[in-house]
Chain A
């Protein structure tokens, strides 16, 4: 009986040791897995971020020639129609038109400006203003810009007048 009890406790000891080793193994593999996953996730975030940045860069350079922005009075690929942009500002249908990751689209007059800060255009102060924000999600984004001519018909008789400005497109940070 004594001999059997000793063997049984030895066996239990072995099993406990084995269980501890296995638990340690599992914890080790879980930690390695978590580490690999976090590295992978950060690389996916990085590549998603760079893809979005490329998209914003490509978009900002092409935006001026899209039908909603383009100035068609003369053949000018870097000119935008301010009248159309003012009307575009209030159109909810265009909210996700430029892409889900696009968080900001605006045009700013760089010269001449009305003051030290960019004055937002509304139907009441237009054209004595500096900025038309088409879309702003007001969340974290990185911005890309392109210089453009901001054009409209004005004067008596109506003639095309263009001013120096920039188009800004912001892409959300993933």
Chain B
């Protein structure tokens, strides 16, 4: 059985408050907060990008996993902001992490679920015996169009996961996985366009909820478990409202959901969102606890996983930087500074 043997989170230190953005467009900050339930979002430094963010997260995952980078035999990186249209992020990151030359590699795109799709690829390679260790990273240096609703939530972060098969190394087994996919044009970005476009309220019920709930029901049925059997649940977090509603729809309690809600402090870092939420849960989970996980990527699809923690999580966690620690020291920036750092001016 495959499982997670280590993970690493990297959240850039800069924050812009939604109130600061609201002020720019003369909107009522309270109205924005009530609608999105997001207080602030993380922003990358002017010289950071998906590659540099991935390297930071990747290094931490390698450190926690306690392996040499050279044993990794697959590297998949999912993002909506790969620095090049053609030239793989995965090999640049692998090179700087010291992986060597003997690995499968590809860049993935599937909106916010590109990282979790990569995780499914790794499970496939591990189960088939093609690899012993693999690295998947979901990372984004996200861009929201000025004056658009997404401007309040599009954030930057990276989450790296190393998967393996050795029982003694696994901190969370992957009990089962599945996906629900369709062609649903709720959110997209054309080649050459700087910012993504979306279709407003269409991104809700027919898109996010349709897929998350469908996959959620499928996963419960597949795992032969009910919501009550889980200790935690994690959903993709485009804003503070959607995951809370999704949890309720699938029968989870606010207590099961609460530890995963990283959106409340960092916003939505796209391909890293659900994986950062998962990391926050793994930071505090005890051994032998079950985690229900559903990601969502516009276009659209949801990837579902059932994780179960092992006793190894206690020792390995000592070597990691938790989400809480990682987001301790932040620097608030102004709207002008935000424009500068996101290369808008």
A and B: real partners?
A: no
